Structure 1
């Protein structure tokens, strides 16, 4: 029996932040197949003070990553946080995926081993600093004991402990065995930010070299001996089932091995992707489409608009909203956002090998333990018999918070005795997504003396959190759906927010990059521009008059006005639009400059964004994430919409679900504010900033107050209000 099989679940779970010495996890970043996990033996010379740090006798420092890397720079930033407090030699730092284990690697915010909501650094900031500081203290204790001096007379730097008075030094590798025997100290002091060496520096990404030279492995790159490839066709109508399957032609295709019929999908297994794909095309499938076969986009919007007229559950209420709305200059508007697909560059995939007593999975997922538990159910095995090998993700954006692709792959792999890689084509990926919900946000406000005196806001749309994490759905409120609505940054004395849960007919909905603030920042910031015009005020000055209690937001707004050239003259049909947002505990102000021609086509000229995200662990990553997020969000504003006809998604690939082209991308300037505050989230914030700032630029240039996305160019050409 190998070490992996002899390791008990109980022993795995007994490790922890404060001194679990049981395992040296060996889960190579560049291995398609995991090597056996070896129990930690002191004779190996490894120092493993907690679940996150491994130092061997050569001084090699391996940091175990609780969060996944999907292009957002998490591996580098988390490594920097650990290495900072550990005082590691950055040139010797390596990273490895963590295995599925909620107890050891569960995100402190959610209690699940999950990557999302732009909170990797926010959630792990203190726990990982304490883990690094504890390990450093143990290494210092070991050196001090060897020298017969007080630990306080020693210091650590770049993977070495030094005794300042005598000039003696020992490397971490030389201390590994002795440090392993030290008792972890309690309440170790973490560094004052002024003493940071790595944090705050523009560090080169640890994952970049292998992505450039082609060595990086994503889930879709997994290759196993004897592996076959499967292509899958899911019922084109949501909720439909398989009726009859004629596979006579498919089985004659060269390289086709087997046709697998599931409840709602059919897969063809072949020697390679071409055989599987051609075999799938040769199938004759009759679908039982069910009751959703006549549903259209119009039906969904009619249903949502009707639901939005109901009273909602009260998420927040300050002051006397009824009295405030009874006086002043009244404003009413509704803002609507469509379904969106994730369309990650790496299509949905999973490789699975099911044996009578085990199941092993190779994939890229944002939620490893849920993949493990759901795969166990599908395989009919105990959870501890399911091994999940996580890889780099070629984009996630929330889609890989769902385990459905792995569950389907397990069901297919159960039918054969060899490993199977199941790959969704781009068409299957886009047409069987878990979509960003449609939302309708209604705002009623009143103006008195040029300021908002009353603000009533109602969100209507899916409660994704109620499905995904039911305990978080309380008293009819989905806290994600109202995020950035209940905590709008402005000084509204009379402030009321409601939520109406309205699930779209038949369409599965989930988290999409930007999550709740996605729709709420858009609605709030578009309304603020319309209110500014109603009050006869400049949009930035209007906002500033109601940000007196929010100095961080006020500061970034002042700076973006200066950096963007706000107020300087512009040519006809060119406008600047602004957006401010307190999303994910970061404070961001963004200005988009855009030109709209006579037929409604839009040219993005320039985007300026000022970001106060607290302590920026890696400023280069902050800039890159804001830039990428802006492009992602602006793409959605310009082109993004999933539509339904006869229960089917009409879009299928990038020809009709467009991405922004390189030549369409504007000049983007991101200014990162130096701050001593705790880090905020950054991976999704830029997504939310782009759409309202662009819409407000269009409003400034044309006077057309668009209230739906994607942008309707016909309305712009006609010069009519939406």
Structure 2
């Protein structure tokens, strides 16, 4: 964008308002087109920093915040280099503009625990560029060299201690060139980064003042609730909508296509309750004759048979020593489908205005991939890409569900608006899923079966390990298939296997295709691979007659210093091996790396009245530099609770005759406050660039818990959720 155009678009009230055209998926990879001054949109302060007259600094985050804390973490990074007054820093979400694409991946995505990791240098440089422009403006005003000035707490300080606030300098600074090269702070001078900091949005959330996507309200807005078929991809044989239309407040009943190849029925009404009552009054006969019908019992039998055969090789090793091995471990693991069940149900508000070339579409939702959603809206609504705007809203959880390549609920919302306009209804539409819609009609963590055949020598050392994984591919059929699937193996299904242990393992995979939509679930493949690896490592240590901690440390040696550091930290802080546990309790240990961070857990557990109980958890964490230790602690606590939830009775999605059998929290169990153990989080100090933290706290919790239960019962837990009987 030319500077003259930018100046026309910027407002007089603040510094550098973003003024970029809306982006769509096709534009996500177009960041190579550098803006004025040779900088890409992702490097321009204009889209990220706004300074008001009173010195308030509003920083735009290029990710969705759905509980992981990036609306504090990323502003901390920028404000550090800006030398902002933290008490005056605010944050806001971005849009699908090119500026807010991930600077490493090249497209819009909140996922893979990448927000802080990928934008750490980006936001530091944005802060440093903004600071340099403010200093240059002050130098011009005072007629002194810029290098004679310094900054502190939102002010530029000059000779004799005179100072100018950033708000006083914003307009002048806005007119200056953006520097291409900047010098970043020495980490020893950090005042914000690395210090435990309360979240910017804490007060709003704790007082009920926080607004989420579901809270969107527009003049004349209608609410849509959708009737989904019980079997994915079913078509409509017949529909009687007269009872729905008779409900007070219902404006229309519309049939629209679904992303699964079938149809759905949408009820539009003046408010959610009227729409839901109308939906419930519909009489729909579904035709599922042309689609597959998943049955969990049959599926398990099929998976078990496949697991006995070698599949596509992820990596190879000589397993010829298995047959003659003096000692063997044979293990079968079963993991069910899991639902995401974020606390805020799925929702999307769409407003379509104008027609033809002047048509415009605006969306409001909490999305992990606004570029995808913009592309969907453009295609379905027939709106030019530059006329689509996606307003990213705060989301109440997601765990991967708000990053669906098929954009199912957004596609649904856009199809509803398209049909409504065709029927003469020009109102904006807010589509809301119920909890039952979410549990019965969503996307799921794939069901998996693992089979391991391990040969040991007389001392318990591994001679050969043959391992087979059976589970649906998440990447297949999506835009990610080209780089996530190699030689028939979905990398998300095998991540976390073998490493960091130097073991002679042959790993192969089967990816059956079933009519059950699957998607990444917090920590993706590590939800099951960490469990398998860390429980089997405990069994091998037992066979070798070694303490499970000592066995792991010997395996790490000098090759895996981060694993060694987190395990030793967790062990030392927990008192493992030194403190006597209460009667009926046992220790459990696990350590796992995911998303470039390593987490170790040492837990205390018992069995009470035939049920497993987790009492205490001590975590060791290595995420390199912890930008906000308080957020790291919160992510580990949340990940641990979610990992614990996988172990509890009822934590499974099952299918019968093609339909999901569960519908809400009464029959799909998640961990609750009474299940939460005492948890202490300890971070290994590091000055290296930060790694991911949104997901790594989840994977090692369940195996650590399982290892403790195995100590108590003498029986390994090879199925989730736990089955002690």
Normalising by structure 1, we get a TM-score of: 0.88
Q: After TM superposition, give the deviation of residue 292 of structure 1 in Å.
A: 4.2
Identify which range, 73-82 or 383-392, moves more after superposition: 383-392
**1:604 matches 2:614:** yes
Report what 1:131 is aligned to.
Answer: 126
Report what 2:666 is aligned to.
Answer: 655
Distance in 1, matches of 2:382 and 2:305, equals 43
Residues 278-357 of structure 1 mapped to structure 2, 5 A cutoff: 278-292=277-291, 294-317=293-316, 320=318, 322=320, 329-355=327-353, 356=355, 357=359
Residues 352-501 of structure 1 mapped to structure 2, 5 A cutoff: 352-355=350-353, 356=355, 357-402=359-404, 403-414=407-418, 415=420, 416-448=425-457, 449-468=459-478, 469-472=480-483, 473-485=485-497, 488-492=499-503, 494-501=504-511
Distance in 2, matches of 1:226 and 1:182, equals 43
- Decide whether the 8 Å contact of 2:606 with 2:612 is kept in 1: yes
Q: After TM superposition, give the deviation of residue 495 of structure 1 in Å.
A: 4.4
**1:73 matches 2:83:** no
- Decide whether the 8 Å contact of 1:457 with 1:496 is kept in 2: yes
Aligned residue for 1:692, secondary structure, equals helix
Change (3 A) 1:552 1:262: same
**1:679 matches 2:690:** yes
Q: After TM superposition, give the deviation of residue 441 of structure 1 in Å.
A: 2.7
Identify which range, 412-421 or 76-85, moves more after superposition: 412-421
Q: After TM superposition, give the deviation of residue 512 of structure 1 in Å.
A: 0.7
Report what 2:233 is aligned to.
Answer: 239
- Decide whether the 8 Å contact of 1:350 with 1:362 is kept in 2: yes
Change (3 A) 1:489 1:180: same
Identify which range, 142-151 or 522-531, moves more after superposition: 142-151
Report what 1:276 is aligned to.
Answer: 275
Report what 1:692 is aligned to.
Answer: 703
- Report Cα offsets for 1:316-341 as digits up to 9, x if no partner: 45x75546886564333232211000
Change (3 A) 1:22 1:677: closer
Change (3 A) 1:425 1:186: closer
- Report Cα offsets for 1:42-88 as digits up to 9, x if no partner: xxxxx973432222443221211101110111110001011111111
Aligned residue for 1:242, secondary structure, equals strand
- Decide whether the 8 Å contact of 1:312 with 1:498 is kept in 2: yes
Change (3 A) 1:104 1:596: same
Change (3 A) 1:272 1:182: closer
Report what 2:260 is aligned to.
Answer: none
Distance in 2, matches of 1:50 and 1:256, equals 45
- Decide whether the 8 Å contact of 1:242 with 1:262 is kept in 2: no
Aligned residues: 674
Q: After TM superposition, give the deviation of residue 698 of structure 1 in Å.
A: 0.8
- Decide whether the 8 Å contact of 2:18 with 2:48 is kept in 1: no
Distance in 2, matches of 1:534 and 1:555, equals 25
Distance in 1, matches of 2:581 and 2:254, equals 62
- Report Cα offsets for 1:106-140 as digits up to 9, x if no partner: 11343221111111111111122122122222222
Aligned residue for 2:647, secondary structure, equals helix
Report what 2:512 is aligned to.
Answer: 502
Unaligned runs of 5+ in 2: 10-14, 22-42, 258-262
Report what 1:3 is aligned to.
Answer: none
Change (3 A) 1:324 1:182: farther
- Decide whether the 8 Å contact of 2:223 with 2:270 is kept in 1: yes
Distance in 2, matches of 1:120 and 1:172, equals 27
- Report Cα offsets for 1:114-170 as digits up to 9, x if no partner: 11111111111112212212222222233234334333332222112223x532322
Aligned residue for 2:45, secondary structure, equals strand
Report what 1:542 is aligned to.
Answer: 551
Q: After TM superposition, give the deviation of residue 552 of structure 1 in Å.
A: 1.7
Aligned residue for 2:595, secondary structure, equals helix
Distance in 2, matches of 1:608 and 1:361, equals 43
Report what 1:42 is aligned to.
Answer: none
Change (3 A) 1:153 1:491: farther
Residues 43-62 of structure 1 mapped to structure 2, 5 A cutoff: 49-62=45-58
- Decide whether the 8 Å contact of 1:24 with 1:48 is kept in 2: no
Change (3 A) 1:445 1:50: farther
Change (3 A) 1:478 1:325: farther
**1:668 matches 2:679:** yes
Distance in 2, matches of 1:619 and 1:245, equals 55
Report what 1:159 is aligned to.
Answer: 154
Q: After TM superposition, give the deviation of residue 393 of structure 1 in Å.
A: 0.3
Residues 100-119 of structure 1 mapped to structure 2, 5 A cutoff: 100-101=96-97, 103-119=98-114
- Report Cα offsets for 1:597-623 as digits up to 9, x if no partner: 35x212221111111211111111111
- Decide whether the 8 Å contact of 1:605 with 1:666 is kept in 2: yes
Q: After TM superposition, give the deviation of residue 179 of structure 1 in Å.
A: 2.2
Q: After TM superposition, give the deviation of residue 302 of structure 1 in Å.
A: 2.7
Report what 2:167 is aligned to.
Answer: 173
Report what 1:593 is aligned to.
Answer: 604
Q: After TM superposition, give the deviation of residue 240 of structure 1 in Å.
A: 0.8
- Decide whether the 8 Å contact of 2:266 with 2:416 is kept in 1: yes
Question: Which runs of 4 or more aligned residues in structure 1 lie more than 6 Å from their structure 2 counterparts after TM superposition?
Answer: none
Normalising by structure 2, we get a TM-score of: 0.88
Task: Give 2:190's match in structure 1, choosing from 187, 191, 196.
Answer: 196
Change (3 A) 1:244 1:316: same
Aligned residue for 2:338, secondary structure, equals coil
- Report Cα offsets for 1:149-204 as digits up to 9, x if no partner: 333332222112223x5323222222223323333333322222111110111111
Say what the alpha-carbon RMSD is for the aligned residues.
2.6
